[in-house]
Amino acid sequence: MIDYTTLKHQADGTPTWDAFLGIILKVAVERQNWQSSELIQRTLEEANLPQSMLQMRYPQKSHDLVMRNRVSFALSDLAISGLLDRPKRGLYLPTSRGQELSKEYGINITRTLIHNEPAYKKYKQEKSNQKKNRQKQENKDLAESQIKEWFNQQNEKTQDELLNHLVKMNPYKFENLMVQLLSVMGYKGDEGQALVTQKSNDHGIDGIINQDPLGLQKVYIQVKRYAPDNSVQMPEITAFSGSIKLKHADRGVFITTSTFTQGAINAARDLNITLVNGEMLTNLMIQYQVGVEAKEHYMTYRIDGNIF
């Protein structure tokens, strides 16, 4: 069974919709044909969620179950990306590409990964063309939930643009930016120091964070500017671990603009190395406003019931 607390989650601790992507594929390859309701139910069982989460409902009129809704959303994206086939309404079966990714990444399949699949890009292009061909759009009042969804979409768009810039960035500037990010996140403490190593003698270490003024506690950093389809493999993790041990240290942070294979993830867990993939990286950069700046601020208001 999966430990649901290790999945990507929202502030309230509930798994996000894309946390279910890899789990759905893992379940789907167990057999050839699935009814959508069966596949959703089996995915929720595999995620091993507590009953309190399984029973959560949206406050709107529909009162839909939150977790089932998120799995359904992930299921739709997997089909759009060509990882699941829908021969007819309500029926799903894994494609050869879906089986391939499930084998390589296990449950660690990210939104970024599937959104780079050709089928998904084609779908987005078609949607974009439809939007451009529309001559008129009705002005509608946006409900609060729709406004939130719009902001989420803008953030996702910014994440994609940010990732493209990071991949093309000057290597040394990229290393400096990553050290800056970890500093802003509080890794170096109040009086610590963060620095980028010299290329001539880095031994696989790209950055160092001294967490105290005397440098008694250090965090070592390695970064890789990889394209989304170039995953970090297990040997790179073990090599980084060896470099850390040469420094007589026991902790490190490995950052990549791409993803990690399941073997790399397993190795990092055993070697006390924290992994940050491209999706997590861009999310953190937006959250801590590193490499981005606020474009606009919007505020909504409600009547103060304590006055009226």
Q: What is the pLDDT of residues 25-45, one digit of tens each?
A: 999 998 888 998 999 999 999
When pLDDT is averaged across residues 283-298 and rounded to a whole number, the result is 85
* CA atoms lying within 13 Å on the CB side of residue 25: 29
The pLDDT of residue 246 is 86
Alpha-helix runs per DSSP H in 116-253: 118-133, 144-168, 171-184, 234-246
Position with higher pLDDT, 204 vs 116? 116
Neighbour count for residue 51 (Cβ, 10 Å):
7
Cα–Cα distance for residue pair 149/147, rounded to 1 Å: 5
Phi and psi at residue 61, to the nearest 5°: -55, -40
| 112-149 per-position pLDDT tens digit | 999 999 999 999 888 888 877 765 554 455 566 677 77
Tokens of 79: 């089909």
The pLDDT of residue 296 is 74
- Quickly state the pLDDT bin for 78 (edges 50, 70, 90): very high
What the chain holds in terms of domains, given with CATH numbers, is 4-130 (1.10.10.10), 168-287 (3.40.1350.10)
pTM listed for this prediction: 0.54
Q: What is the H or E stretch that residue 224 is in? A: strand 218-224
Mark residue 48 as left, alpha or beta (left: phi above 0; alpha: psi -120 to 50; beta: remaining).
Answer: left
When pLDDT is averaged across residues 44-62 and rounded to a whole number, the result is 87
When pLDDT is averaged across residues 86-110 and rounded to a whole number, the result is 90
Contact (CB, 8 A) for 261 and 231: yes
Contact (CB, 8 A) for 222 and 191: no
Q: Could you give the C-alpha distances from 180 to 20, 173, 196, 197, in angstroms and in order? A: 31, 10, 10, 13
Alpha-helix runs per DSSP H in the chain: 21-28, 36-47, 51-54, 66-80, 96-105, 111-115, 118-133, 144-168, 171-184, 234-246, 262-270, 278-287
Residue 61 pLDDT greater than 60, yes or no: no
